[in-house]
Structure 1
């Protein structure tokens, strides 16, 4: 029997330290709900998990971007509905004025309404805004030449670079629609039956342009609706994958915690027993 080197106590103490360290990690994983809390827990798992987290956050923001894009398109379509209603009324007046039964004074009264309606088309185009950006003045029109200053509205609908789509919105001013002349600013005239007859064709072309733009907006919105659904599903699947890598299996971890707890109690008891062996030497000296 020796005193200076109690090997049993040293071994018990070392094993107790290992067990207590495992117990601390078990409690950390159980309390945090994650089995990877630092790189030392699983270096490769942490790297993969962090990449997935970047994708998840990017996908969630992309879904929000697409939803905001839908709001933008719906707002634009609402303004175009107003413009369509005005053009329909202008066409109605043109058909009315094409009839020869009206006097010049009658047509003058019709022309007064036409002037107000054309002015309203320009007012809508100049005041139609989303987040402070004019939508119907050509800012997002399809480029038509090398020196064009227009640009599309880019909607970023993915988690990574270049995952975006463009939205084009044509100019919807009275001049662009042909009901106001460029230069002298004169508006379509219904002062004579022949003028009114030609105006019908002009207004039909304007309606064709507006309807084409509204159809494009409908296509954009349908695409974004599908994009939101797809992005949300991708985000859910990515979160499930990240959870399998990083989250704690509570039942399994609780089994490990209970095992280490028992080992810690046993180790403490054995260390106490080992320490009593040195004290037994005193009985030999009595």
Structure 2
């Protein structure tokens, strides 16, 4: 087989071009920190990277959802705590007012405080967080109660507010407002205030004690149920954090370049390129054209 000068030159140029391309790949890996910069370089790595990235983004979205759940539940628990304190004060006033030693003026003063506490509970029932009423079920845009007419307004919506916190897992973030704040509660408070103003007997006033204890138990039961859900959310949150770490590591192992290895390969390729350049200088021999003037 006859080997010509043009064959040697073409082979040399092709090899130099391959060398430049290899150095370009290593330089891109150093600049981006990734194994590939185009999907065509390695479709398998690109496809796996898309799947891993989707998984990480899904977990991050669930974590943002859990942030909303925490905000909703924390505000609900705080509101129920204030409602419990108000009902405990009402209970104390009930015990005091049912004593025959209280005069008419004193009972009237207690009745005024009872009505103020009733309005306070109505305000709690209309608690608004992030422009949403948290005790009106899924109907978060409307207040459940009319403060000026608590006994005849409501009841709150019983539709649950569900937020997805994991794949296929939805958590109810609200409490059923009607189990805590309802017309019976406000009507009982108004009846008690009226009994105080009407000089009700000791037995009549004392009978309200069991009624108010029942309302307090309703609040306690809802807080217990809410607390159980809050504990579950914390467990899910821990699991999501573990999933995110695992998915991020898999994505990194799939896409990220081994910088130490890339630097070594680049230095090796530079040495090869310099050697190829030296050999090329020997291959390109002078021709007759170099001597024509």
**Shared fold (TM-score greater than 0.5)?**
yes
Question: Is there any run of 5+ residues in structure 1 with no aligned partner, and where?
Answer: 142-147
Match runs of 1:60-139 below 5 Å: 60-126=60-126, 128-139=127-138
SS state at 1:248 partner: coil
Instruction: Give the deviation of 1:266 after TM superposition.
Output: 1.5
Q: Which residue of 2 aligns with 1:250?
A: 259
Match runs of 1:230-245 below 5 Å: 230-245=239-254
CA distance in 2, matches of 1:215, 1:226: 17
Instruction: Give the deviation of 1:173 after TM superposition.
Output: 9.2
Q: Does 1:212 align with 2:221?
A: yes
Shifted more, 99-108 versus 196-205: the winner is 99-108
Residues 177 and 209, structure 1, Cα contact 8 Å, conserved in 2: no
Q: Does 1:163 align with 2:172?
A: no
Match runs of 1:175-214 below 5 Å: 176=182, 178-181=184-187, 186-189=190-193, 190-191=195-196, 192=200, 193-214=202-223
Higher relative contact order (CA 8 A, sep 6+): 1
Residues 73 and 226, structure 2, Cα contact 8 Å, conserved in 1: yes
CA distance in 2, matches of 1:53, 1:138: 35
Q: For the structure 1 residues 281 and 45, does the alpha-carbon distance in structure 2 shift closer, same or farther, using more than 3 Å as the test?
A: same
Q: Which residue of 2 aligns with 1:263?
A: 272
How many positions carry a matched residue from both structures? Answer: 271
Residues 180 and 188, structure 1, Cα contact 8 Å, conserved in 2: no
SS state at 2:135 partner: coil
SS state at 1:40 partner: helix
Q: For the structure 1 residues 263 and 30, does the alpha-carbon distance in structure 2 shift closer, same or farther, using more than 3 Å as the test?
A: same
Q: Which residue of 2 aligns with 1:225?
A: 234
Match runs of 1:21-60 below 5 Å: 21-60=21-60
TM-score (norm 2): 0.83
Question: Is there any run of 5+ residues in structure 2 with no aligned partner, and where?
Answer: 141-155
Q: Which residue of 2 aligns with 1:7?
A: 7
TM-score (norm 1): 0.85
Per-residue deviation, residues 168-221 of structure 1 (Å, max 9, x unmatched): 312269861733229xx9443443223322211111111011111111221222
Q: Which residue of 2 aligns with 1:145?
A: none
Residues 125 and 173, structure 1, Cα contact 8 Å, conserved in 2: no
What root-mean-square deviation, in Å, do the aligned CA atoms of Structure 1 and Structure 2 show?
2.8
Q: Which residue of 2 aligns with 1:144?
A: none
Residues 137 and 157, structure 2, Cα contact 8 Å, conserved in 1: no
